Amino acid sequence: MVELCRSNFKGHEDIQNMLRYEAPKFGNDDDAVDELAAMLLNWFADELEGHHNDHGGIFRAGTGSAMYYVWDSRDMGATPDGRRESEELACNYSPSLFMRADGPVSIIKSFTKPDLYRVCNGGPLTIELTDTMFHNEDSVRKVAMFVKSYIDLGGHQMQINSVNREKMLDAKKHPENYRNLIVRVWGWSGYFVELDECYQDHIIKRMELAI
């Protein structure tokens, strides 16, 4: 695996695709994988305990990435999940950009298994829902139940985008027609056509789900 990552999976694209799309991932309600995620987050929180900043305050672990999921990835080598060198990381506390999720319910079940109280310094679960989920009252009710379920299971923050991939692709080509298209970026919302292209592309790559 170390050699595969060092070579950026060159000549081993079959293994890379397996790691991207078939290997177990956090977000599919797989206890074996989810326990590893919980363990890693606990290690992070454990390491910060007892440390104080220059003003006497404490450090709190968090899962937020702000804009760094794009910035930091530019200088990061390939990783064992099949991500290539310089390819973007997932935004905040969210599934891998190339995982094949069993659905949004599996995602929230996985992402609430860790003790999120210990890593509550920011870090929303970012979910992209197809815009058809907001076309009638019944669909909106399902979205409300979905968000409530996440909180009831122990989640503490969720970012939701109502997206249409084809519309965003067209907005890149014809921005003059989409001046009012607003998307959630990381901790704030912005006009899609005014974002840097790297953030536009990242939002397009995120999974578009239906409930």
Query: Minimal CA–CA distance to 150: which of 139, 161, 160?
Result: 160
Cβ atoms of 27 and 111 closer than 8 Å: yes
pTM: 0.78
pLDDT of residue 210: 58
Burial class of 154 by CB neighbour count within 10 A (0 to 12, 13 to 18, 19+)? middle
Could you read off the pLDDT of 162-195 as tens digits, one per residue? 778 888 889 999 999 988 888 877 777 889 899 8
Q: How many domains does the chain have?
A: 1
pLDDT of residue 154: 93
How many of the other CB atoms lie within 10 Å of CB of 36?
A: 13
The neighbouring-strand residues paired with 191 are 182
pLDDT of residue 81: 93
pLDDT of residue 162: 79
pLDDT of residue 47: 95
pLDDT of residue 208: 59
Cβ atoms of 125 and 93 closer than 8 Å: yes
- Domain hosting residue 135, numbered range: 2-209
pLDDT of residue 61: 92
pLDDT of residue 207: 62
**Whole-angstrom Cα distance, residue 65 to residue 67?**
6
* Regions of the chain short of the pLDDT cut 50: none
